[in-house]
Amino acid sequence: MNTTPALTQDAVASRTIFDPATGEPVGEAPVHTVADLQHAVDVALAAQPAWAASGHEARSAALLKAADAVEARAEELAQLLSREQGKPLNGPNARFEVGACAAWLRAAAGTPLEAETVVDDGETRAELRYRPIGVVGAIGPWNWPMMITIWQIAPALRMGNAVVVKPSEYTPLSVLALVETINEVLPEGLLTVISGGRDVGEALASHPAIGKVMFTGSTATGKAIIRSSADTVKRLTLELGGNDAGIVLPDADPKAIAEGLFWGAFINTGQTCAALKRLYVHADIYDAVCDELTNVAEAMPMGNGLDENNVLGPLQNRQQYDIVARLVEAAKASGARVLLGGNPDADQPGNFYPTTLVADIDNDNPLVVEEQFGPALPIIKFSTVDEAIAKANALDVGLGASVWSSDLSAAREVASRIEAGTVWINKHGAVDPRVPFGGAKQSGYGLEFGVEGLKALGVPQIING
Protein backbone atom coordinates (compact mmCIF):
# COMPACT_ATOMS: atom_id res chain seq x y z
CA MET A 1 0.00 0.00 0.00
CA ASN A 2 1.24 3.50 -0.81
CA THR A 3 0.58 5.71 2.20
CA THR A 4 1.27 9.35 2.91
CA PRO A 5 5.01 10.06 2.47
CA ALA A 6 7.12 9.95 5.61
CA LEU A 7 7.36 13.39 7.15
CA THR A 8 10.36 15.11 8.63
CA GLN A 9 9.93 14.23 12.28
CA ASP A 10 11.06 10.86 13.61
CA ALA A 11 8.33 10.95 16.25
CA VAL A 12 5.27 13.02 15.41
CA ALA A 13 3.33 14.40 18.36
CA SER A 14 -0.28 13.31 18.67
CA ARG A 15 -3.51 14.28 20.37
CA THR A 16 -6.62 12.38 21.32
CA ILE A 17 -9.83 12.74 19.30
CA PHE A 18 -13.04 12.21 21.28
CA ASP A 19 -16.48 10.95 20.22
CA PRO A 20 -18.94 13.89 20.39
CA ALA A 21 -21.76 11.49 21.30
CA THR A 22 -20.07 9.83 24.27
CA GLY A 23 -16.91 11.73 25.11
CA GLU A 24 -14.93 8.52 24.71
CA PRO A 25 -11.59 8.45 22.85
CA VAL A 26 -11.77 7.57 19.15
CA GLY A 27 -8.06 7.56 18.37
CA GLU A 28 -4.83 9.51 18.22
CA ALA A 29 -4.28 12.08 15.47
CA PRO A 30 -0.79 13.23 14.48
CA VAL A 31 0.04 16.87 15.08
CA HIS A 32 2.18 17.80 12.11
CA THR A 33 4.28 20.93 11.92
CA VAL A 34 5.14 23.60 9.38
CA ALA A 35 8.34 21.64 8.70
CA ASP A 36 6.21 18.60 7.85
CA LEU A 37 4.18 20.78 5.50
CA GLN A 38 7.32 21.90 3.72
CA HIS A 39 8.42 18.30 3.25
CA ALA A 40 4.97 17.36 1.88
CA VAL A 41 5.13 20.24 -0.60
CA ASP A 42 8.62 19.23 -1.71
CA VAL A 43 7.46 15.64 -2.31
CA ALA A 44 4.37 16.89 -4.18
CA LEU A 45 6.47 19.12 -6.42
CA ALA A 46 8.65 16.14 -7.32
CA ALA A 47 5.70 13.82 -8.04
CA GLN A 48 3.45 16.20 -9.95
CA PRO A 49 5.18 16.52 -13.37
CA ALA A 50 4.97 12.80 -14.17
CA TRP A 51 1.33 12.73 -13.05
CA ALA A 52 0.54 15.71 -15.28
CA ALA A 53 2.29 14.04 -18.21
CA SER A 54 0.27 10.82 -17.78
CA GLY A 55 -2.81 12.42 -19.37
CA HIS A 56 -6.51 12.57 -18.61
CA GLU A 57 -7.22 8.95 -19.48
CA ALA A 58 -4.64 7.50 -17.09
CA ARG A 59 -5.60 9.91 -14.31
CA SER A 60 -9.28 9.11 -14.73
CA ALA A 61 -8.52 5.40 -14.55
CA ALA A 62 -6.70 5.96 -11.26
CA LEU A 63 -9.67 7.87 -9.84
CA LEU A 64 -11.98 5.00 -10.77
CA LYS A 65 -9.69 2.59 -8.94
CA ALA A 66 -9.72 4.98 -5.97
CA ALA A 67 -13.53 4.86 -5.97
CA ASP A 68 -13.36 1.06 -5.90
CA ALA A 69 -10.94 1.21 -2.97
CA VAL A 70 -13.25 3.52 -1.02
CA GLU A 71 -16.19 1.22 -1.63
CA ALA A 72 -14.16 -1.79 -0.48
CA ARG A 73 -13.61 -0.09 2.89
CA ALA A 74 -16.96 1.72 2.99
CA GLU A 75 -18.30 0.30 6.25
CA GLU A 76 -15.00 0.74 8.08
CA LEU A 77 -14.81 4.36 6.92
CA ALA A 78 -18.44 5.05 7.84
CA GLN A 79 -17.97 3.63 11.34
CA LEU A 80 -14.93 5.85 11.92
CA LEU A 81 -16.72 8.88 10.52
CA SER A 82 -19.73 8.29 12.78
CA ARG A 83 -17.55 8.01 15.89
CA GLU A 84 -15.39 11.05 15.09
CA GLN A 85 -17.92 13.44 13.56
CA GLY A 86 -21.02 12.18 15.38
CA LYS A 87 -23.34 11.69 12.43
CA PRO A 88 -25.42 8.50 12.42
CA LEU A 89 -24.63 5.63 10.13
CA ASN A 90 -28.08 5.76 8.55
CA GLY A 91 -30.12 8.47 6.86
CA PRO A 92 -28.25 11.07 4.81
CA ASN A 93 -25.26 10.69 7.09
CA ALA A 94 -22.11 8.54 7.45
CA ARG A 95 -22.80 5.73 4.97
CA PHE A 96 -24.29 8.32 2.62
CA GLU A 97 -21.13 10.44 2.90
CA VAL A 98 -18.77 7.57 2.13
CA GLY A 99 -20.94 6.59 -0.83
CA ALA A 100 -20.80 10.18 -2.06
CA CYS A 101 -16.99 10.03 -1.95
CA ALA A 102 -17.00 7.16 -4.43
CA ALA A 103 -19.63 8.88 -6.57
CA TRP A 104 -17.67 12.14 -6.80
CA LEU A 105 -14.45 10.30 -7.64
CA ARG A 106 -16.25 8.59 -10.51
CA ALA A 107 -17.85 11.82 -11.64
CA ALA A 108 -14.51 13.62 -11.73
CA ALA A 109 -13.06 10.74 -13.73
CA GLY A 110 -15.95 10.62 -16.19
CA THR A 111 -16.54 14.29 -16.92
CA PRO A 112 -15.20 15.17 -20.37
CA LEU A 113 -13.07 18.27 -20.83
CA GLU A 114 -12.22 18.83 -24.46
CA ALA A 115 -10.11 21.60 -25.93
CA GLU A 116 -12.41 24.39 -27.16
CA THR A 117 -11.90 26.08 -30.51
CA VAL A 118 -12.91 29.70 -29.89
CA VAL A 119 -12.02 31.12 -33.32
CA ASP A 120 -11.37 29.33 -36.61
CA ASP A 121 -12.19 31.67 -39.49
CA GLY A 122 -9.54 30.63 -42.00
CA GLU A 123 -7.11 33.32 -40.89
CA THR A 124 -7.02 32.89 -37.11
CA ARG A 125 -7.33 29.72 -35.14
CA ALA A 126 -7.45 29.95 -31.35
CA GLU A 127 -7.94 26.99 -29.05
CA LEU A 128 -8.59 27.05 -25.29
CA ARG A 129 -7.00 24.34 -23.18
CA TYR A 130 -6.35 23.82 -19.45
CA ARG A 131 -2.96 22.99 -18.00
CA PRO A 132 -2.34 21.71 -14.46
CA ILE A 133 -1.75 24.31 -11.77
CA GLY A 134 0.92 22.29 -9.95
CA VAL A 135 0.34 21.78 -6.23
CA VAL A 136 -3.09 22.47 -4.74
CA GLY A 137 -3.73 23.07 -1.05
CA ALA A 138 -7.06 21.68 0.20
CA ILE A 139 -8.33 22.93 3.56
CA GLY A 140 -11.44 21.09 4.70
CA PRO A 141 -14.18 21.41 7.34
CA TRP A 142 -15.43 19.20 10.17
CA ASN A 143 -19.06 18.84 9.10
CA TRP A 144 -18.61 16.66 5.97
CA PRO A 145 -14.89 15.91 6.34
CA MET A 146 -14.62 13.04 3.87
CA MET A 147 -17.04 14.21 1.21
CA ILE A 148 -15.83 17.79 0.98
CA THR A 149 -12.22 16.60 0.90
CA ILE A 150 -13.14 14.52 -2.15
CA TRP A 151 -14.84 17.54 -3.70
CA GLN A 152 -11.45 19.25 -3.47
CA ILE A 153 -8.98 16.52 -4.33
CA ALA A 154 -10.83 14.54 -7.04
CA PRO A 155 -10.92 17.34 -9.66
CA ALA A 156 -7.46 18.53 -8.62
CA LEU A 157 -5.97 15.10 -9.28
CA ARG A 158 -7.95 14.63 -12.49
CA MET A 159 -6.49 17.87 -13.84
CA GLY A 160 -2.93 16.72 -13.20
CA ASN A 161 -2.18 18.42 -9.89
CA ALA A 162 -0.66 17.10 -6.68
CA VAL A 163 -2.59 17.88 -3.49
CA VAL A 164 -1.68 18.65 0.11
CA VAL A 165 -4.71 18.28 2.40
CA LYS A 166 -5.17 20.09 5.71
CA PRO A 167 -8.18 18.58 7.55
CA SER A 168 -10.08 20.23 10.37
CA GLU A 169 -8.50 19.74 13.78
CA TYR A 170 -11.86 18.33 14.90
CA THR A 171 -12.06 15.51 12.33
CA PRO A 172 -8.57 14.52 11.13
CA LEU A 173 -8.94 10.75 11.56
CA SER A 174 -11.63 10.41 8.90
CA VAL A 175 -9.58 12.30 6.34
CA LEU A 176 -6.39 10.41 7.19
CA ALA A 177 -8.20 7.11 6.66
CA LEU A 178 -9.78 8.29 3.42
CA VAL A 179 -6.50 9.49 1.96
CA GLU A 180 -4.73 6.30 3.04
CA THR A 181 -7.39 4.37 1.12
CA ILE A 182 -7.04 6.48 -2.03
CA ASN A 183 -3.26 6.29 -1.86
CA GLU A 184 -3.49 2.54 -2.38
CA VAL A 185 -3.85 3.29 -6.10
CA LEU A 186 -2.00 6.60 -6.56
CA PRO A 187 1.68 7.21 -7.31
CA GLU A 188 3.59 8.13 -4.18
CA GLY A 189 3.73 11.78 -3.18
CA LEU A 190 0.71 13.07 -5.07
CA LEU A 191 -1.68 13.19 -2.13
CA THR A 192 -0.58 14.00 1.42
CA VAL A 193 -2.45 14.86 4.62
CA ILE A 194 -0.93 17.35 7.03
CA SER A 195 -2.86 17.08 10.29
CA GLY A 196 -1.75 20.17 12.12
CA GLY A 197 -3.02 23.29 13.80
CA ARG A 198 -3.82 26.80 12.67
CA ASP A 199 -0.15 27.58 12.07
CA VAL A 200 0.00 24.81 9.48
CA GLY A 201 -3.16 26.06 7.76
CA GLU A 202 -1.77 29.58 7.61
CA ALA A 203 1.52 28.32 6.19
CA LEU A 204 -0.31 26.29 3.56
CA ALA A 205 -2.39 29.30 2.46
CA SER A 206 0.70 31.49 2.07
CA HIS A 207 3.21 28.91 0.76
CA PRO A 208 4.83 30.17 -2.45
CA ALA A 209 4.81 26.73 -4.09
CA ILE A 210 1.05 26.21 -3.60
CA GLY A 211 -0.62 27.40 -6.79
CA LYS A 212 -4.21 27.18 -5.59
CA VAL A 213 -6.06 26.91 -2.30
CA MET A 214 -9.48 25.32 -1.99
CA PHE A 215 -11.23 26.08 1.29
CA THR A 216 -14.59 25.23 2.81
CA GLY A 217 -15.36 26.89 6.13
CA SER A 218 -16.22 30.17 7.78
CA THR A 219 -16.30 33.52 6.00
CA ALA A 220 -13.86 34.94 8.57
CA THR A 221 -11.27 32.26 7.82
CA GLY A 222 -11.90 32.65 4.09
CA LYS A 223 -11.07 36.34 4.33
CA ALA A 224 -7.84 35.49 6.15
CA ILE A 225 -6.92 33.06 3.35
CA ILE A 226 -7.59 35.75 0.75
CA ARG A 227 -5.23 38.11 2.57
CA SER A 228 -2.49 35.51 3.06
CA SER A 229 -2.69 34.38 -0.57
CA ALA A 230 -2.27 37.87 -2.02
CA ASP A 231 1.52 38.03 -2.11
CA THR A 232 1.76 34.90 -4.25
CA VAL A 233 -1.39 35.64 -6.30
CA LYS A 234 -2.87 32.22 -5.63
CA ARG A 235 -5.97 30.98 -7.33
CA LEU A 236 -8.76 30.38 -4.85
CA THR A 237 -12.02 28.47 -4.58
CA LEU A 238 -13.83 29.48 -1.41
CA GLU A 239 -17.06 27.92 -0.16
CA LEU A 240 -17.80 30.01 2.89
CA GLY A 241 -20.58 30.50 5.42
CA GLY A 242 -24.20 30.57 4.42
CA ASN A 243 -27.52 31.36 6.04
CA ASP A 244 -29.82 29.85 3.44
CA ALA A 245 -33.39 31.08 3.12
CA GLY A 246 -36.38 29.02 2.06
CA ILE A 247 -39.59 30.66 0.81
CA VAL A 248 -42.88 28.76 0.98
CA LEU A 249 -45.45 30.25 -1.39
CA PRO A 250 -49.17 30.23 -0.47
CA ASP A 251 -50.10 27.51 -2.98
CA ALA A 252 -47.70 24.93 -1.47
CA ASP A 253 -49.11 21.79 0.14
CA PRO A 254 -47.87 21.83 3.77
CA LYS A 255 -48.11 18.08 4.27
CA ALA A 256 -46.43 17.27 0.96
CA ILE A 257 -43.41 19.52 1.57
CA ALA A 258 -42.90 18.93 5.31
CA GLU A 259 -40.37 16.11 5.05
CA GLY A 260 -38.41 17.92 2.35
CA LEU A 261 -38.30 21.03 4.53
CA PHE A 262 -37.12 18.97 7.47
CA TRP A 263 -34.20 17.36 5.67
CA GLY A 264 -33.34 20.63 3.96
CA ALA A 265 -32.84 22.13 7.40
CA PHE A 266 -31.71 19.22 9.55
CA ILE A 267 -29.49 17.11 7.29
CA ASN A 268 -26.34 16.31 9.30
CA THR A 269 -28.21 17.72 12.33
CA GLY A 270 -28.15 21.15 10.67
CA GLN A 271 -24.36 21.18 10.33
CA THR A 272 -24.27 21.87 6.60
CA CYS A 273 -23.23 25.08 4.87
CA ALA A 274 -26.06 24.85 2.34
CA ALA A 275 -28.75 23.76 4.81
CA LEU A 276 -32.04 25.61 5.13
CA LYS A 277 -31.47 28.00 8.03
CA ARG A 278 -34.30 30.57 7.68
CA LEU A 279 -37.78 29.50 6.62
CA TYR A 280 -40.21 32.13 5.33
CA VAL A 281 -43.81 30.92 5.10
CA HIS A 282 -46.82 32.77 3.70
CA ALA A 283 -49.39 33.76 6.30
CA ASP A 284 -52.16 31.77 4.58
CA ILE A 285 -50.46 28.42 5.33
CA TYR A 286 -48.11 29.42 8.15
CA ASP A 287 -49.83 27.47 10.92
CA ALA A 288 -50.32 24.40 8.75
CA VAL A 289 -46.63 24.33 7.75
CA CYS A 290 -45.60 24.74 11.39
CA ASP A 291 -47.86 21.84 12.40
CA GLU A 292 -46.74 19.48 9.63
CA LEU A 293 -43.07 20.26 10.09
CA THR A 294 -43.40 19.66 13.84
CA ASN A 295 -45.05 16.29 13.17
CA VAL A 296 -42.15 15.21 10.96
CA ALA A 297 -39.46 16.52 13.32
CA GLU A 298 -40.96 14.77 16.36
CA ALA A 299 -40.64 11.41 14.61
CA MET A 300 -36.93 11.69 13.79
CA PRO A 301 -34.80 9.86 16.39
CA MET A 302 -31.62 11.50 17.70
CA GLY A 303 -28.83 9.70 19.51
CA ASN A 304 -25.53 7.88 19.22
CA GLY A 305 -24.65 7.51 15.57
CA LEU A 306 -23.67 3.86 15.88
CA ASP A 307 -27.27 3.02 16.82
CA GLU A 308 -28.85 1.91 13.54
CA ASN A 309 -32.18 3.53 14.53
CA ASN A 310 -30.93 7.11 14.76
CA VAL A 311 -30.91 9.65 11.93
CA LEU A 312 -29.82 12.73 13.93
CA GLY A 313 -26.68 12.95 16.03
CA PRO A 314 -24.80 15.33 18.31
CA LEU A 315 -23.19 18.56 17.35
CA GLN A 316 -19.60 17.79 16.47
CA ASN A 317 -18.00 20.06 19.05
CA ARG A 318 -18.93 21.96 22.18
CA GLN A 319 -18.17 25.34 20.64
CA GLN A 320 -20.89 24.78 18.05
CA TYR A 321 -23.27 23.48 20.71
CA ASP A 322 -22.79 26.71 22.68
CA ILE A 323 -23.55 28.82 19.58
CA VAL A 324 -26.83 26.99 18.96
CA ALA A 325 -27.82 27.18 22.63
CA ARG A 326 -27.08 30.92 22.76
CA LEU A 327 -29.16 31.67 19.66
CA VAL A 328 -32.13 29.61 20.83
CA GLU A 329 -32.05 31.29 24.24
CA ALA A 330 -32.04 34.70 22.52
CA ALA A 331 -35.11 33.65 20.53
CA LYS A 332 -36.90 32.45 23.66
CA ALA A 333 -36.05 35.65 25.51
CA SER A 334 -37.55 37.70 22.68
CA GLY A 335 -40.92 35.99 23.08
CA ALA A 336 -40.70 33.73 20.05
CA ARG A 337 -42.80 30.56 20.25
CA VAL A 338 -40.91 27.28 20.59
CA LEU A 339 -42.81 24.57 18.73
CA LEU A 340 -40.37 21.79 19.54
CA GLY A 341 -37.13 21.39 21.47
CA GLY A 342 -35.14 24.24 22.93
CA ASN A 343 -34.71 22.27 26.15
CA PRO A 344 -31.38 20.42 26.16
CA ASP A 345 -30.79 17.81 28.86
CA ALA A 346 -27.80 19.01 30.86
CA ASP A 347 -27.26 15.52 32.28
CA GLN A 348 -27.04 13.80 28.88
CA PRO A 349 -23.49 12.93 27.81
CA GLY A 350 -22.29 14.26 24.49
CA ASN A 351 -23.06 17.39 22.47
CA PHE A 352 -26.74 16.66 21.90
CA TYR A 353 -29.00 19.64 21.27
CA PRO A 354 -32.64 18.68 20.61
CA THR A 355 -34.34 19.28 17.29
CA THR A 356 -35.77 22.78 17.71
CA LEU A 357 -38.42 24.69 15.75
CA VAL A 358 -39.08 28.34 16.60
CA ALA A 359 -42.13 30.22 15.26
CA ASP A 360 -43.45 33.77 15.51
CA ILE A 361 -39.94 35.19 15.47
CA ASP A 362 -38.82 38.61 14.23
CA ASN A 363 -36.63 38.75 11.15
CA ASP A 364 -33.91 40.66 13.02
CA ASN A 365 -33.63 38.08 15.80
CA PRO A 366 -30.11 36.64 16.22
CA LEU A 367 -31.41 33.13 15.43
CA VAL A 368 -32.43 34.47 12.01
CA VAL A 369 -29.54 36.76 11.11
CA GLU A 370 -26.67 34.62 12.46
CA GLU A 371 -25.81 31.23 11.00
CA GLN A 372 -26.77 28.71 13.69
CA PHE A 373 -25.20 25.64 12.00
CA GLY A 374 -27.18 23.25 14.12
CA PRO A 375 -30.62 21.73 14.77
CA ALA A 376 -32.63 24.91 15.30
CA LEU A 377 -34.85 26.42 12.60
CA PRO A 378 -36.59 29.81 12.81
CA ILE A 379 -39.90 30.06 10.90
CA ILE A 380 -40.86 33.59 9.84
CA LYS A 381 -44.29 34.65 8.57
CA PHE A 382 -44.65 36.86 5.48
CA SER A 383 -47.59 38.47 3.67
CA THR A 384 -46.28 39.27 0.17
CA VAL A 385 -43.74 37.63 -2.10
CA ASP A 386 -41.83 40.90 -2.43
CA GLU A 387 -41.49 41.00 1.36
CA ALA A 388 -40.16 37.44 1.47
CA ILE A 389 -37.62 38.07 -1.28
CA ALA A 390 -36.41 41.26 0.39
CA LYS A 391 -35.91 39.42 3.67
CA ALA A 392 -34.18 36.50 1.98
CA ASN A 393 -31.76 38.88 0.23
CA ALA A 394 -31.12 41.13 3.21
CA LEU A 395 -28.05 39.32 4.55
CA ASP A 396 -24.50 39.52 3.19
CA VAL A 397 -24.33 35.79 2.42
CA GLY A 398 -25.84 33.82 -0.44
CA LEU A 399 -24.77 30.20 -0.73
CA GLY A 400 -28.11 28.51 -1.40
CA ALA A 401 -31.85 29.12 -1.15
CA SER A 402 -35.08 27.36 -2.02
CA VAL A 403 -38.64 28.08 -3.17
CA TRP A 404 -41.55 25.77 -2.35
CA SER A 405 -44.67 25.87 -4.49
CA SER A 406 -47.12 23.77 -6.48
CA ASP A 407 -46.60 26.14 -9.42
CA LEU A 408 -43.16 25.54 -10.96
CA SER A 409 -43.37 28.61 -13.16
CA ALA A 410 -44.12 30.87 -10.22
CA ALA A 411 -41.39 29.21 -8.15
CA ARG A 412 -38.79 29.73 -10.87
CA GLU A 413 -39.73 33.39 -11.20
CA VAL A 414 -39.21 33.90 -7.47
CA ALA A 415 -35.99 31.88 -7.59
CA SER A 416 -34.56 34.18 -10.27
CA ARG A 417 -34.86 37.12 -7.85
CA ILE A 418 -32.98 35.50 -4.97
CA GLU A 419 -29.31 36.41 -4.48
CA ALA A 420 -27.76 32.99 -4.00
CA GLY A 421 -25.39 30.70 -5.88
CA THR A 422 -27.98 27.91 -6.12
CA VAL A 423 -31.75 28.12 -5.71
CA TRP A 424 -33.59 24.80 -5.45
CA ILE A 425 -37.27 24.26 -6.23
CA ASN A 426 -39.22 22.08 -3.76
CA LYS A 427 -35.99 20.76 -2.24
CA HIS A 428 -32.98 22.23 -0.50
CA GLY A 429 -29.28 21.39 -0.53
CA ALA A 430 -29.41 18.68 -3.18
CA VAL A 431 -25.92 18.80 -4.73
CA ASP A 432 -25.03 16.83 -7.85
CA PRO A 433 -21.49 16.15 -9.13
CA ARG A 434 -22.59 17.14 -12.64
CA VAL A 435 -24.01 20.54 -11.61
CA PRO A 436 -21.75 23.52 -10.75
CA PHE A 437 -21.95 24.71 -7.15
CA GLY A 438 -20.68 27.93 -5.56
CA GLY A 439 -21.71 30.91 -3.49
CA ALA A 440 -22.67 34.53 -3.98
CA LYS A 441 -21.84 37.62 -1.90
CA GLN A 442 -19.75 36.71 1.18
CA SER A 443 -20.48 33.00 0.79
CA GLY A 444 -17.39 32.79 -1.38
CA TYR A 445 -16.47 32.49 -5.03
CA GLY A 446 -15.39 29.91 -7.55
CA LEU A 447 -17.32 26.90 -8.79
CA GLU A 448 -17.02 23.23 -7.95
CA PHE A 449 -18.38 20.12 -9.73
CA GLY A 450 -18.86 19.25 -13.37
CA VAL A 451 -16.90 20.78 -16.22
CA GLU A 452 -16.66 24.15 -14.48
CA GLY A 453 -15.18 22.48 -11.43
CA LEU A 454 -12.48 20.82 -13.54
CA LYS A 455 -11.65 24.10 -15.25
CA ALA A 456 -11.22 25.73 -11.84
CA LEU A 457 -8.37 23.29 -11.12
CA GLY A 458 -6.48 24.18 -14.28
CA VAL A 459 -4.75 27.18 -15.82
CA PRO A 460 -6.46 28.33 -19.01
CA GLN A 461 -4.12 28.56 -21.97
CA ILE A 462 -4.85 29.83 -25.46
CA ILE A 463 -3.00 28.22 -28.36
CA ASN A 464 -3.20 30.83 -31.09
CA GLY A 465 -2.04 29.79 -34.54
What residues act catalytically?
239, 273
Distance CA 254, CA 351 (A): 31
Helix (H, G, I), strand (E, B) or coil at 457: coil
Q: Show Cβ contacts of residue 244 under 8 Å, excluding neighbours closer than 6 positions.
A: 274, 275, 276, 277, 278, 399, 400, 401, 402, 420, 428, 429
Strand-pair category, 244-248 with 400-404: parallel
Residue type, 72: A
Phi and psi angles of residue 180, each rounded to the nearest 5 degrees, phi first:
-60, -40
Shortest CA distance to 63 belongs to which of 111, 21, 98, 18?
111
Q: What is the dihedral of CA 316, 353, 244, 223, to 10 degrees?
A: -40
Q: Beta partners for 129? A: 461
Phi and psi angles of residue 261, each rounded to the nearest 5 degrees, phi first:
-60, -45
Distance CA 34, CA 202 (A): 9
DSSP 210: -
Q: Per DSSP, which regions of 58-153 are E strands? A: 116-120, 125-132, 135-139
Distance CA 403, CA 328 (A): 25
Q: Beta partners for 17? A: 27
Q: Are 46 and 27 in contact (CB under 8 A)?
A: no
Backbone region of residue 17 per phi and psi (left: phi > 0; alpha: psi in -120 to 50; beta: other values): beta
SS3 content of the chain, % helix, strand, coil (to 5): 40, 20, 35
Q: Are 391 and 280 in contact (CB under 8 A)?
A: yes
Helix axes 286-298, 254-266, angle to 10 degrees: 60
Q: Are 229 and 206 in contact (CB under 8 A)?
A: yes
Backbone region of residue 385 per phi and psi (left: phi > 0; alpha: psi in -120 to 50; beta: other values): alpha
Q: Are 352 and 302 in contact (CB under 8 A)?
A: yes
Backbone region of residue 269 per phi and psi (left: phi > 0; alpha: psi in -120 to 50; beta: other values): left
Q: Are 173 and 28 in contact (CB under 8 A)?
A: no
